[in-house]
Chain A
Amino acid sequence: MGRHIIGKVGEVPPGERRIVEAEGRSIGVFNVHGSFFALRNSCPHQAAPLCLGSIKGMTMPSRPGEYIWARDGEILRCPWHGWEFDITTGRSIFNPHRTRVKVYDVTIEQRLDGDLPDEEDPSVETFPVSIEDGWIVLHL
């Protein structure tokens, strides 16, 4: 149970993901429109590497014959059987109450007291800080 530094925010732009190993688990960390989410990289159906799936939107509930496309960038489709999951909650679209994947907390931190990565050189100089400079931290 701990904090895991995934990388800099700028390294995982919106719409992209990074697959990491943490505490023996494979986990996908996703940037969805600037917010970060983490899902276990194993589909609850047949244990496929879920986080390698396609990231798209979805057809929303609608009347027969009507198509409403929305939520672009928020829906992950399993790379095997195509089941859809809401990246922001880990819940499946077809049965959000029963079929879901484990989610983990992700925070963005500007300073990493005491556990800066080796390559980070703590500077005595000061620079303007943007969100891009923040660290993505995964909490298990």
Chain B
Amino acid sequence: MAVATERTATSIQARKGIVDCDVHPYPVSTDEIRSYLPMPWRDRFSGGGRGFFGNPVHGSRLDSTPPGGGPTGSDPGFLRKQLIDEFGIAYAILLPRAFCNVHPDPDLGTAIAAAYNDWLADTWLSKHNADGVFKGSLTVNTQDPLAAAQEIDRWGGHPHFVQVMTDSGARAPFGQRQYYPIYEACQRNNLRFAIHPGTDGMGINVQPSPGYPTHYIEWHTCLSLAFQAHLVSIITEGVFERFPGVGITLTEGGVSWLLPLMWRLDAEWKALRSEVPWLTKAPSAYLRDHVRLSSQPLENPDNSRHLLQMLEMMDAGHVLMFASDYPHWDFDSPTHAFPKLSADLHERIFSATAREWYGLPTPDTTA
């Protein structure tokens, strides 16, 4: 990420404070996205979310509706007041929710992804970003990896896009070779690759559990299943050996499952290494160089010491990055989501690790 560091350091002044690795900006309306779509897609795009498994209570914080109107997360001024200023956020990593990979028609999905990228670049990353607090994620349609790679190349060198993102919903695990063009493009353009929950079992995507669960509580709890399957696939298929510059951001996929899964995978590898001979080290040894997890929704056992032990065991000081998921209902407050951490670990999780990962300037402490 050396190139990105130089690029951003010269364009904006280093900001002190928290890096929030999962913030969701929304268009003011479906028509706003439609205005970035060429025909025939403009007429085909109807907006909409994932279709079902909607939260039965509320999907966004009830107090996040902008006073001036519009959907939650659609007013940059109000988001700044309620998140950036309230908690002292230095950088917010923006992840739009396009749900573009549910469509049977890959060209429609690719057009939607491009429209979201044009919209984000035009609004949150420029008009509303004079201070550079907003960093963007490029939406790509993973159903068409070649088109996704072209979309990534279209934005290479943009000062505020720091990663490529996809929903976790897929038709095949992300380590498989059909996705190589995406990883090549990420490596070529010095961008991380983020996976965020969504579209599991929706449209043409596979549900990563035995069939469809009945309730939202089941579906939402089991979102981490897809993340586990994707991570095991990416490591064992040798993505990090083939593309040593690739880094995976596992966003909102859960935290505390990581270590037991790695213990299991390492144990399997001792016996089954011959099946995946391209791995040059134990699977868990790839994490520190190639994988980061965002913290929200952080599991919180009744005894917070147990969580602290888990953080220590999983090397949280190097792989975990704070995220709030604003404005969604399961928002984690920067001041209340974690038990008390040591000053060093707090600095790593809330700021330093993400700055290193995304090449964001470190605050000048001598100023």
List residues of chain A with CB under 8 Å of any chain B CB: 45-49, 52-54, 77, 79-82
Contacts and interface: CB of A to CB of B under 8 A. Distances in A.
Contacts, number: 37
B232 interface: no
Contacts of A48: 61, 63, 333
Contacts of B62: 52-54, 79-80
Contacts of A52: 62-63
B57 interface: yes
Interface in B329-359: 329-333, 335-337
Q: Which of B57, B331, B333 has the most CB of A within 10 A?
A: B57
A54 B57 CA distance: 9
Contacts of B57: 77, 82
A80 B336 contact: no
A82 B55 CA distance: 10
Contacts of B330: 80-81
Interface residues of B, number: 14
Contacts of B331: 46, 80-81
Interface string B47-90: 00000000101100111000000000000000000000000000
A82 B58 contact: yes
B232 to A, nearest CB: 30
Contacts of B333: 46-48
Q: Which of A46, A48, A77, A80 has the most CB of B within 10 A?
A: A80
A52 B55 CA distance: 19
Given A54-B58, A79-B62, A82-B58, A47 B336 contact: yes
Contacts of A80: 61-63, 329-331
A47 B63 contact: no
A45 B336 CA distance: 8
Nearest to B58: A82
A79 B333 CA distance: 13
A49 B58 CA distance: 15
Nearest to B56: A82
A47 B61 CA distance: 13
Q: Which of B55, B62, B335 has the most CB of A within 10 A?
A: B62
A59 B337 CA distance: 28
Interface in B296-352: 329-333, 335-337
B337 A82 contact: no
A54 B61 CA distance: 11
Nearest to B337: A46
B58 A47 contact: no
19 contacts: A45-B336, A46-B336, A47-B333, A48-B333, A52-B62, A52-B63, A53-B62, A54-B62, A77-B57, A79-B62, A79-B63, A80-B62, A80-B63, A80-B330, A80-B331, A81-B329, A81-B330, A82-B55, A82-B329
A16 to B, nearest CB: 16
Nearest to B297: A81
B332 A79 contact: no
Contacts of A46: 331-333, 336-337
A79 B61 contact: yes
A49 B63 contact: yes
Contacts of A53: 62
B330 to A, nearest CB: 6
A41 B112 CA distance: 41
B299 to A, nearest CB: 14
Contacts of A45: 336
B89 to A, nearest CB: 16
A47 B63 CA distance: 13
A50 B162 CA distance: 35
A80 B63 CA distance: 8
A47 to B, nearest CB: 5
A54 B336 CA distance: 22
Interface string B27-62: 000000000000000000000000000010110011
Given A47-B335, A54-B58, A77-B58, 9 more contacts: A46-B337, A47-B336, A48-B63, A52-B63, A53-B62, A77-B57, A80-B329, A81-B329, A81-B331
A58 to B, nearest CB: 11
A28 to B, nearest CB: 13
A54 B58 CA distance: 10
B32 to A, nearest CB: 26
A8 to B, nearest CB: 27
Q: Which of A47, A49, A77, A81 has the most CB of B within 10 A?
A: A81
A81 B335 CA distance: 15
Nearest to B61: A80
A79 B332 CA distance: 13
Contacts of B332: 46
